[in-house]
Amino acid sequence: MKMAKAPRGEWERVMKFAQELEHEIKYREKTNEQLGAWVRKAPPLFRVIFGYQVLVDNCCDPNEDILEFKPELRAIAESKSIECGKYSIKRHQNGHLWISNEIGEGMQVNDELFEKALHAFFQEHF
């Protein structure tokens, strides 16, 4: 599933709102009118909360009670080589990334190209 990311400022506002809401529930410092006015100014909650759910549903191990990658994602993250269709992606000991095709032709790539290759891998396999 694809979903637009909430910008950092948006989820920071949601976190601040959630902290203030918990404080208000615990200490009840606002009148009903003040509380209503404050809630109407709340940041957009849905995208941040739903985005969390999308990540958990697609990336987290359903057998764990903590945020832990699915075993297949953990294996990819820990591997030194990823096979993606006809391409192989490897990180050498010196930290350089290398992408090669099925006949061994390859090239060193930067992290941006590696991210694109990983994206293609996930599109193909998940």
pLDDT digits (tens, 9 = 90+) for 75-107: 766 666 666 667 676 766 666 666 677 666 666
Cα 126 to Cα 112: distance, rounded to the nearest angstrom = 21
The verdict on 36 and 78 lying in the same domain is: no
The verdict on 55 and 78 lying in the same domain is: no
Residue 2 lies in a domain: no
The verdict on 96 and 121 lying in the same domain is: yes
Which residues in 5-38 are b (16+ Cβ under 10 Å) and which e? ebeeebbebbeebeeeeeeeeeeeeeeeeeeeee
Prediction pTM value? 0.58
Query: What range does the domain containing 48 cover?
Result: 8-59
Q: How confident is the model at residue 74 (pLDDT cuts 50, 70, 90)?
A: confident
Residue 52 lies in a domain: yes
Residue 39 lies in a domain: yes
Number of domains making up the chain: 2
Residue 3 lies in a domain: no
